[in-house]
Amino acid sequence: MKKLPIGLQSFSKLREDNYIYIDKTKQALNLIENYQYCFLSRPRRFGKSLFLDTLKNIFDGKKELFKNLYIYDKWNFEEYPVIKIDWAGDFKSLERTKKRAKEILKINQEKLNIECSFDNSAEGCFEELIQKSYKKYKKRVVILVDEYDKPILDNLENVEVALQNRDFLRSFYGIMKANDEYIQFAFLTGISKFSKANIFSGLNMLEDISLNDDFGNVCGYTQANIEDEFSEYFKGVDLELVKKWYNGYYFLGEKVYNPFDILQFIKNKFMFQNYWWESGNPYFLITLLKKQHYNIPKLENITIGSELLNSFEVEKLKLEVLLFQSGYLTIDKFIQTPMGVRYKLKIPNLEVQISLNGLFLDYLTNNNFENERLDIYETLLEADLEKFKNIMSSMFASIPYNNYVNNTIGEYEGYYASVFYSYLAGAGLELIAEDVTNDGRIDLTIKMNEKIYIFEFKVVDTKSNNNKGLSQIKNKNYHKKYTQKNVYLIGIEFSKKEKNIINFEWEKL
């Protein structure tokens, strides 16, 4: 049985020490034969660094490492001088970023046995390194950049430093265009996709392969990989449940798993936990939520154009773009329209659904109600709607009063819908927010086995004699969308004054 490549980003170590390696060399060959400057965006811990190191070994001419892989007999493995720029380090100021850039270039000078005399700037040293490498080895240079955007992303909460680092990187990467005649191939990876005007203004020939279906599976594990290369590890494991928890990322190839989740899942004896989520710090999302007051259920029904999907602006961050590029939303489907392609987004899997909505709930209520959420599933499974009402009323009653001080948030339906949605989604339920019918949108639908729950929310000054939410469901025949025998219609009225449920009525069809 081959070993698990946990925490490994070294292609040579994986190949030499009998670790599982998912062959991505077909995509690598396509890149190096058909592209010169290209860029790949993927969320964190998705295997970008390993793929970049695979490219490095190809250009280092290490053919023996590729035996039995796709590329082995299809490439000549000619050796090229390689400059590898790995943005690991501390970038909390422009000075530190420039210092780290010079350190990275110094490492490359030593590896290539070249000494640069230009000490005034990192840009000057980078240019000298490219030109001297070309002259010394009589070969064009290969440039590989890992986490090209880290000096910016590490400073999202300090916009001034983020912009300073962005401007430095723009001039640094611009060196490549000025030295195009000396460059064989350049490949950059990162999480965010800045517009070319912002950071790649000097690299207008850069081709973005992030949503090119030829490279949809260039990072990540497919279902076939789980059932083939990892088959010995998954004997007796419920693969459908694994898929529900961890699969679902879609970049126009096949749906893929984040490798970090799969490897940690096996290592931890097949315990379903939010491994990938806990490996990062998504709390910058909360800062953005506070600034922009999003209606959270709408995040499950976002359709945006490619121009928005491909833009990342430090000065005016958009939550949906950040959620997509960070991996908290993925593509559900793409739609061709007369005005271009549009993408419908969704949460990729159960891990992200539970974790992300726990974070949202903490933001909305100062409490993620993790223990209380465990009771919700059972009450809906048994259709005990009286108990369900009591749980939800208790949850709203426990929200600190100071959440409503100095703001009007308690007067808006979107706030209550967001809390309600995040509470239920965080319990792992199958939800449809703003469920479309032929006569409007249902505020929230829950699917549970053979049961369907249809919710409509209203915010009122006083309790009405005729529940407005339930009346709307019936008047607009929302229930006709579903043919199941057990369909429950539920109207909920929230009080602006009491900040809680004051009218909860339901009917079973």
Is the per-residue pLDDT at 47 higher than 50? yes
Mean pLDDT computed over 25-39 = 97
- pLDDT tier at 281, thresholds 50, 70, 90: confident
Q: What is the pLDDT of residue 195?
A: 64
Contact between 485 and 377 under an 8 Å Cβ cutoff? The reply is no
Q: What is the pLDDT of residue 449?
A: 84
Return the minimum-mean-pLDDT range out of 48-62, 166-180, 285-299: 285-299
Return the minimum-mean-pLDDT range out of 46-55, 211-220, 355-364: 355-364
Mean pLDDT computed over 310-337 = 85
CA distance 228 to 231: 5
**Antiparallel, parallel or unpaired: β 82-86 and 256-257:** unpaired
- Please enumerate in sequence order all residues whose Cβ is within 8 A of that of 108, keeping only pairs 6 or more positions apart, or say none: 83, 84, 85, 129
Q: What is the pLDDT of residue 412?
A: 67
Phi and psi, residue 488, nearest 5°: -115, 130
Q: What is the pLDDT of residue 334?
A: 86
Q: What is the pLDDT of residue 312?
A: 75
Q: What is the pLDDT of residue 300?
A: 75
Mean pLDDT computed over 27-46 = 96
Is the per-residue pLDDT at 174 higher than 70? yes
Mean pLDDT computed over 205-216 = 92
Q: pLDDT > 90: what percent of the chain? A: 67
Q: How many CA atoms lie within 13 A of 494 on its CB side?
A: 24
Q: What DSSP designation does 155 have?
A: T
Q: What is the pLDDT of residue 197?
A: 56
Q: Please give the mean pLDDT across all residues of the chain.
A: 90
CA distance 192 to 440: 35
pLDDT, one tens digit per residue, over 460-487 is 988 878 899 999 999 999 999 998 789 9
Is the per-residue pLDDT at 445 higher than 70? yes
Would you tell me the crossing angle of helices 94-112 and 159-178 to the nearest 10 degrees?
30
pLDDT, one tens digit per residue, over 97-123 is 999 999 999 999 999 999 988 667 999
Q: What is the pLDDT of residue 118?
A: 65
Contact between 24 and 214 under an 8 Å Cβ cutoff? The reply is no
Q: What DSSP designation does 213 have?
A: G
Count CB atoms within 10 A of the CB of residue 90: 11
Count CB atoms within 10 A of the CB of residue 460: 17
Q: What is the pLDDT of residue 96?
A: 96
Token match 């070319």: residue? 196
pLDDT, one tens digit per residue, over 58-98 is 999 999 999 999 999 999 999 999 999 999 888 999 999 99
CA distance 294 to 288: 9
Which among 475, 469, 421 has a CA at the least distance from the CA of 444? 421
Is the per-residue pLDDT at 407 higher than 60? no
* 72 token code pair: 């082995």
Is the per-residue pLDDT at 450 higher than 90? no
Count CB atoms within 10 A of the CB of residue 130: 23
CA distance 262 to 259: 5
From residue 319, alpha-carbon distances to 286, 344, 497 in Å are 10, 15, 30
Is the per-residue pLDDT at 405 higher than 50? no
Q: What is the pLDDT of residue 196?
A: 59
Q: What DSSP designation does 204 have?
A: T
* 228 token code pair: 């083939």
DSSP string, 241-307: HHHHHH--B-SSSS-EE-HHHHHHHHHTTT----HHHHTS-TTHHHHHHHHH---GGGGGG-EEEHH
Q: What is the pLDDT of residue 209?
A: 94
